Amino acid sequence: MPVAARKQLQIDDPDLFMDMEDLELAAHGIVEGTLHGLHRSPYLGFSVEFDSHREYQRGDDLRYVNWNLWARTERLYIKQFKSDTNLNLYLLLDTTGSMFTAHGRSQKWRYGARAAAALAFLALLGRDATGAYMLGNTVQDIVPPRVRPGQFHEILALLQGVQSAGQGDIGAALEDVRETCKRRGIIVLISDLFDKEAEILHGLSDLRYMGHEVLVLHVLDPWEIELPTTGQYEFEDLESGEKLRVHAPQLRESYNRIVADWREGLKRSCEERGIDWLACGTHEPIRNLLIEYLLRRARY
């Protein structure tokens, strides 16, 4: 494959970065690939303070071309701007035992960590104060939201040091979050939601009542979404240790239907409370989450 074609593939396909151990490189690749696919960033045009330039891309608004720079260089550059209104982005990552399930490309918490890292990179690029919270029974660890040199690497260090919190209580942890997230912003909960559903929804509703925008990334392993078509398996609850041996073909149809109904019910419950809900499997790209965040950021 020609070099130019390889470079184009790397930019256009952020999924290539999903398996990288280097969390920083993965975050950069996923974000740059997503933005390249969108052709232009939704941040542009929302402010008045000039920040920097980038090369013109087909589809860019010609109002933002720097014609003086073109006269000197005969190359087209687009003006970029700082955001009018900066906000806080609160990234909440579920680190309870069930998040360590892995039958797809990665454990759920690793997938969530990549999503959080990409969101942090994107938000800090827009000069939004960004923080990260590791959730178990309580908030296990935290990097408070800030915009400063080194903030991204501090968040990366927290994400890379995640350890299982065992059997958790995300609803109770959200109460701790409520006490610390005073400034209005966007709250992103990354979780499999294998917990007390009513308490989680109550906690998220409280955060909405405080004026936060709330987005739930519901992360599941492929085998949690659909059972395998063949084979006998022993499943273990990673929080309680309980084990169950099943013959997959006998349960597959009813199991898949129950899970689909559960996910649809969660989505409906969230929407009724003004909470955005996004389904995601660890075998699927993260770009949908980034696009959803950008759309919310543009509306805020």
Q: Average the pLDDT over 280-288 and give the result.
A: 84
The arithmetic mean of pLDDT across residues 93-109, rounded, is 86
Q: Directed axis angle between helix 197-209 and helix 170-180, to 10°?
A: 10
Q: Is the pLDDT of residue 199 over 90?
A: yes
Contact call for residues 43 and 83 (beta carbons, < 8 A)? yes
Helix (H), strand (E) at residue 198: helix 197-209
Q: Which residue has the tokens 């078509």?
A: 229
| pLDDT score recorded for residue 2 | 36
Instruction: Return the exposure string of 109-136: e unless at least 16 CB atoms fall within 10 Å of the residue's CB, then b.
Output: bbbbbbbbbbbbbbbbebebbbbbbbbb
Rounded to an integer, the average pLDDT of 65-89 is 68
Domain annotation for the chain: domains and CATH numbers: 47-82 (no CATH), 88-299 (3.40.50.410)
Average pLDDT over residues 211-225: 93
Q: CA 99 to CA 268: how far, in whole Å? A: 23
What tens digit of pLDDT does each residue of 244-270 get? 777 767 888 888 899 999 999 999 999
What does the H/E/C string look like for 270-287? HHHCCCEEEEEECCCCCH
Residue 3 has pLDDT above 50, yes or no: no
Residue 144 has pLDDT above 90, yes or no: yes
Percentage of the chain with pLDDT > 90? 41
Q: Can you give the pLDDT at residue 75?
A: 75
Q: What is the pLDDT of residue 152?
A: 94
Which of the two residues, 299 and 191, has the higher pLDDT score?
191
| pLDDT of amino acid 164 | 80
Which of 15-19, 135-139, 167-171, 260-264 is the least confident region? 15-19
Residues 265 and 5: their CA atoms lie apart, in Å, by 44
How far apart (Å, rounded) are the C-alpha atoms in residues 126 and 147?
A: 10
Put simply, whether the predicted model's pTM sits higher than 0.85 gets the answer no
Of the candidates 156, 148, 150, 164, the one whose C-alpha atom is nearest the C-alpha of residue 108 is: 164
**What pLDDT does 11 receive?**
41
Mean of the pLDDT values across residues 141-147? Answer: 94
The whole-angstrom separation of Cα 206 and Cα 193 is 17
Name the band, by pLDDT with cuts 50, 70 and 90, for residue 64.
low
Write down the mean pLDDT value for the chain.
Answer: 79
Question: What mean pLDDT do residues 32-58 have?
Answer: 54
Rounded Cα distance, 6 and 249, in Å = 42
pLDDT at 247: 72
Mean pLDDT, range 86-103, rounded to an integer: 89
Please give the residue that has the higher pLDDT: either 73 or 6: 73
CA–CA distance, 77 with 67 (Å, rounded to integer): 8
Weakest-pLDDT range from 107-116, 153-162, 245-254, 275-284: 245-254
